Amino acid sequence: MRPSLTKERVLMTAGFVLSAVLAVYFLRRIDLRELGPTLASVNLWILSCCLLTKGAVFSLGALRTKVFLTPLRRYRFTECFTAMLGGYVTNNIFPFRLGELVRIDLLARAGEISRGSTVAVVALERLLDLISFLILFAVVVPLLAIDLSGNRRLAWLLGAILAALLAVAWLASNPSRFPGIVVFFARPFSPRLQAWLLQKSQRFVDGLSALRSSRAVAQALVLTFAIRLVGMLTIQCWLWAFGLELPLYAPLIVMVFLSIGTMVPSSPGFIGTFHVAVAYALELMGVVPSMAASVAIAGHFMATVPWTIIGLSVSLPAIRSVWKRGSEGSQRVKPVIRA
């Protein structure tokens, strides 16, 4: 058995075990006799609004992807939206969070551009998401009176993000130098491998082309925080659906806890980690366990099941083409089209 295969199985098993442990912990903390009536009290009309807000998050995310890809090719909104849904569906069905890989592949196929360029675009999006999360986290910390003055891990994380930002800015302003650096460090390898690394580094830098436009950067930042705001509106709909009257910052606190919880390796769909994060955040704000559990269960259902079904119907043909790549995956892509 290959070592990589063994590692994958270990990680997958660990994720499923952690989800199972947290799911049991989640259920054991509440009185199941109270859970049914509390869930039955939900206002389904308000809860159904989450379908619209979730769709808005996908749409905003697709628009942000379109902004970053514009220097490479003028993508249609539907191409970015379908790739977004394909990645989301994959994450909810398969382990290892393969959704990003699927989205990278779908974007590259749709635009007939290098996957190295779409990798750079997705990496940029994740960096923006992390920055926006840290800003929200900085707002939540004083609300919960958390002392982070001696937390070295947070300092290291902030330092790593700052270094990543500086590296991205340098790459965007000096795109011709990065391939040369890659070639310098690749000198011990074979000429064939050096040529391959050079090509991949050039394609990766191409994916950062949008950063050379201040307008594109501003649009991406606005869309990123719009995604966060609509996400908080989704959480607020959960609270309204159960008649909870909490402070205006309650959705922000739930979102931060949820973001941390879903970073932990778990089963597809974040079963267990999602529920514990939401319930714990609500209990910190005085919500009784049975009500907090009900919000977590209903919120998880609305966040995963409807749009997974919709996503399957919309993007299943594109997802199938990824897994059936075969010899087609080795075909040449067209040269990058520059705006």
Instruction: Between 228 and 213, name the one with better pLDDT.
Output: 228
Axis-axis angle for helices 77-93, 289-323 (nearest 10): 110
Lowest mean pLDDT among 71-75, 121-125, 196-200, 266-270: 196-200
Distances in whole angstroms, Cα of residue 160 to Cα of each of 36, 93, 131, 335, 338: 45, 31, 11, 34, 31
φ, ψ for residue 145, nearest 5 deg = 55, 45
SS3 of 147, please? Answer: coil
User: For the chain, how big is the Rg over CA atoms in Å?
Assistant: 22
How confident is the model at residue 48, as a pLDDT?
A: 92
Give me the percent of the chain exceeding a pLDDT of 90: 22
Q: Is 6 part of a structural domain of the chain?
A: no
* pLDDT tens figures, 279-303: 988 988 889 888 999 999 999 999 8
SS3 of 287, please? Answer: coil
Instruction: Between 50 and 110, name the one with better pLDDT.
Output: 50
Instruction: Between 280 and 174, name the one with better pLDDT.
Output: 280
**Residues whose CB is less than 8 angstroms from the CB of residue 319 and which lie 6 or more positions away in sequence, other chains included:** 86, 89, 90, 102, 106
Instruction: Between 179 and 10, name the one with better pLDDT.
Output: 179
Q: Is 329 part of a structural domain of the chain?
A: no
Q: Is 242 part of a structural domain of the chain?
A: yes
Positive or negative CA dihedral for 311, 314, 317, 321?
A: negative
Closest CA to 275 of 257, 252, 300, 240: 300
Q: Is 284 part of a structural domain of the chain?
A: yes
Q: Is the pLDDT at 54 greater than 90, yes or no? A: yes
Distances in whole angstroms, Cα of residue 120 to Cα of each of 58, 65, 209, 312: 19, 11, 10, 26
**The tokens of 253 are what?**
């606190």
Mean pLDDT of 133-159: 70
**The tokens of 228 are what?**
């966060």
Q: In angstroms, rounded to a whole number, what is the distance separating the alpha carbons of residues 325 and 243?
A: 49
Query: Which residue stretches of 112-148 are H helix?
Result: 115-143
* 21-42 burial: b if 16+ Cβ within 10 Å, else e: ebbeebeeebeeeebeebbeeb
How confident is the model at residue 338, as a pLDDT?
A: 36
3-state helix, strand, coil in the chain (%, to 5): 80, 0, 20
Closest CA to 295 of 314, 276, 313: 276
Q: In angstroms, rounded to a whole number, what is the distance separating the alpha carbons of residues 302 and 296?
A: 10
The C-alpha torsion from 102 through 108 and 110 to 112, rounded to 10°, is: -150
Q: Is 310 part of a structural domain of the chain?
A: yes
Assign 223 a pLDDT band (cuts: 50, 70, 90).
very high
Q: Is 110 part of a structural domain of the chain?
A: yes
pTM, two decimals, is 0.79
Q: Is the pLDDT at 175 greater than 60, yes or no? A: yes
Query: Which residue stretches of 242-287 are H helix?
Result: 250-261, 273-284
Q: Is the pLDDT at 232 greater than 90, yes or no? A: yes
Q: Is 53 part of a structural domain of the chain?
A: yes
Q: Which amino acid is at 99?
A: G
What range defines the domain where residue 119 resides?
18-322
How confident is the model at residue 148, as a pLDDT?
A: 54
Mean pLDDT of 232-248: 93
- Residues 279/300, Cβ–Cβ less than 8 Å: no
How confident is the model at residue 20, as a pLDDT?
A: 74
Closest CA to 106 of 329, 337, 334: 329
Q: In angstroms, rounded to a whole number, what is the distance separating the alpha carbons of residues 183 and 165?
A: 23
Q: In angstroms, rounded to a whole number, what is the distance separating the alpha carbons of residues 268 and 275?
A: 13
- Residues 198/187, Cβ–Cβ less than 8 Å: no
Q: Is 65 part of a structural domain of the chain?
A: yes
Mean pLDDT taken over the chain: 79
Q: In angstroms, rounded to a whole number, what is the distance separating the alpha carbons of residues 148 and 7?
A: 34
**Domains of the chain: total:** 1
Q: In angstroms, rounded to a whole number, what is the distance separating the alpha carbons of residues 331 and 328?
A: 5
